[in-house]
Amino acid sequence: MKLQAIDDSNRSAHYYLTPQDQCYFFHEFTAKKGFNYSPGNQFIFNFKKSPTQAHEGHYQYKTRAIASAIRVYRELFERTAGAYAGCTLVPIPPSKVKGHPEYDDRMWQVVRGIGEGKDADTRELITQTQSYEASHLAGDTRTRIKPDELEALYQVDARPPKSTIILFDDVLSAGCHFRAAKSAILSRHPGVQVVGFFLARRVFSDPVDDFEPL
C-alpha cells in the first residue's frame, strides 16, 4: 500500500479540512457500498467490527486488520529517518468513552504496536469526557457532531509532546475529528506541528456505476 496525501484534487470531499491541514491515507473506503465492493471496504469493515462481537468467530478478521495496520505503519516509520525520534504518536479517541460496552481501542492498539520496541513517544494525549453517536451511524448530516462540539469533549494532556504530533484514525470522512483534535492540541501546545494519518479516506461512488449498460 502507498501512503497518499490529501491535496487540492481531493480535499473538497473532506470539507472540514483546509489547505493548511496535512493528512495522509492508504485506502479508499466507498460509502454506502458493501464489504465486497473493494479491498478498501473489506479492510475497513473488518477493522471496525464492534467489540460487542468479540466472542464471535469472525472477530478474528478485526484482529488481523489491526495487525496489518501496525505492520504497514511500522514499515513506513522504519524507512523514514527520524520518524520515531521526532514525533509523538496519538490515537484520535473513538466515539465511546472507556467503560462503555462499545468502547473500541483499535486505534490505540495500532499506535502502541507502531511504537513497540522502539524509542517512541506513544500516548493517549487526548481523552474524551463523554460518549456520542458515531458519525457513520448518525444518519442525517445535520445531526452529526461538529468540530467545535467535539473539541469541547476533549481534554489534552499537559505534558509536552514532541515537535510533531501524528494523529491516527481509521477513516477520514468530513475531517471533523481531525479538526477538533488538532484545535484542542494547539490550544494546549501551541507551536507544534499536527499531522493526520488515516487508514482510508471516504469516497462516494459515481451514480452511473449503479446502472447496468443498456
Strands 4-5 and 126-128: unpaired
How many CB atoms within 10 Å of residue 69?
24
Examine residue 209 and state whether it is found in any structural domain, yes or no. Answer: no
- Could you give the CA distance from residue 101 to residue 110 in angstroms, rounded to a whole number? 20
Please give the residue range of the domain that contains residue 152. Answer: 4-204
Contact 5, 164 (CB under 8 A): no
Examine residue 145 and state whether it is found in any structural domain, yes or no. Answer: yes
Give me the number of domains the chain comprises: 1
- Which residues touch 103 (CB under 8 Å, ≥6 apart)? 51, 94, 96, 97
Confidence at 45, pLDDT banded by 50, 70, 90: very high
Query: pTM, whole model, 2 decimals?
Result: 0.93
Contact 196, 169 (CB under 8 A): yes
Examine residue 74 and state whether it is found in any structural domain, yes or no. Answer: yes
Crossing angle of helices 60-78 and 39-47, rounded to 10°? 110
Q: pLDDT of 90-142, one tens digit each? A: 999 999 999 999 999 999 999 999 999 999 999 999 999 999 988 655 555 56
Which CATH number goes with the domain that contains 124? 3.40.50
Q: pLDDT of 57-86, one tens digit each? A: 999 999 999 999 999 999 999 998 888 999
